Every structure is written in C-alpha cells, then in structure tokens.
Amino acid sequence: MTTQLGFHVDMEKCIGCKACEAACKDFYRLPPEIRWRRVRSFETGEFPKAIRVHLSLACNHCEDPACMKGCPVEAYTKRADGLVIHDPTACIGCQYCTWTCPYSVPQFDPEQGVVSKCNGCYQLVDQGQLPRCVQACLTGALSFGEVVAHEAQKRQAVRQAPGFPDPSVTRPATRFAWPEKGPQPDRQVRVAPPAGDGTSVGGAAETVVAAAGEVR
C-alpha cells in the first residue's frame, strides 16, 4: 500500500444539515434503515452556556480493519489506496463483521441477507472525483484525500472523536478537527440523538466520555 485515503471532518464547520447523509443514501439507493454515513449531535457545557456540535461519520477505512479480519469468506479487501471495500456477492450474511468492527460500521440488510457499508465511493475516486458525501457538504466540513496531507494542511487532524473507541486498535484513517470553542478530546460530551434515532457512535452508550480516545 503506497498511500492511505481517508475523510477529514471539521466539527467547527458542520451544521448538522445531513446533506452528506442524504446524498449517500440517494446515490446508492439505500433502504430507509441503512445509512452508510450518519450525522450525530453532541452537547457539552452547562446551561446557559451549553454547546451543541455535530459530527458526520462513515466507514473509517482503517489501516488495520477489524471487519476484514472477522470475515470468514474474505468479502473485504483493502485497496492500494487504503479504501476498505466490501463485496456483497461474496458475503454470506454471517454478520461477524458487525460484531468485530468497533465503530458499528457494517450494517446488515435483512431483505438482501447481506452486509453493506461505505466504500469511499471508490468508483468516483477512480475517476478523479470526490465521494458523494463530500461533494454534497454545504460548508466544507467534509473533505477527502491522503491522510498525511490532512495532517500537514488542516488546522487540526486527530483520530479522536466523541464516543470513539481507542483508535490504536484499528488505526482509523478518518481525521477530525474539533471546534475552536467547545468539546475537546479530553472533555466530557453527551450524545444527543435525533428523535427516533436509537443508534450510537461506535456502539457506545448514549452518554459517553471522550478522553484520550477512550469511551468510558
């Protein structure tokens, strides 16, 4: 592998509009219950100075992907550019990957009987285009490219995000810029799920602490 592509998420710029989430679902014609990209909201501080920030998450295309290790039929591959791709034609629907991924990224589709996940829009990337979610972002909160470039060019590019498990386990390629004013990697945040959304980031509980990349 000569490079590692990944997403960069700037929480200072994200307004929680979910245009990225909608663009992904529309482009891949995903069923209502399947979302390859999810926008979550978090709260920090106390009234009247509480702050809400938003976070857009999809597959992290990890350097050491647990989903690929947990697949008994080798339905996952990691490309030379670092993108982790799932082959639905090889998938047997055992769901092992949904248990081994610490970020709860692979999702089982009961109608199709197989798992699916974000593929980094590799078919667009191969044509020199950006992933659909990045194209749809209204504020520039989402970007995509080589991780080393993110680390060199962005104002902040860390692996820690609210509610994330220890990033040293799978070494996720996603990088984050935390808000200038608001939660930081060593401060407590509260997950604020939208109405009707019982999911959580990384399979964490609805109340989490993000500290040095750990969930407690």
Query: pTM of the full predicted structure?
Result: 0.82
CB 67 within 8 A of CB 100: yes
5-210 placed in CATH 2.60.120.10: no
Beta strand pairing call for 175-177 and 51-57: unpaired
Domain-by-domain residue ranges, the chain? 5-210
Give the confidence band of 47 by pLDDT, cuts at 50, 70, 90.
Answer: confident
In tens, the pLDDT along 27-37 reads 999 999 999 99
Q: What is the mean pLDDT of residues 157-162?
A: 78
In tens, the pLDDT along 175-214 reads 998 887 655 554 544 545 444 444 434 443 233 333 222 2
The predicted structure's pLDDT at residue 199: 43
What does the alpha-carbon distance between residue 116 and residue 103 come to, in Å, rounded to a whole number?
A: 14
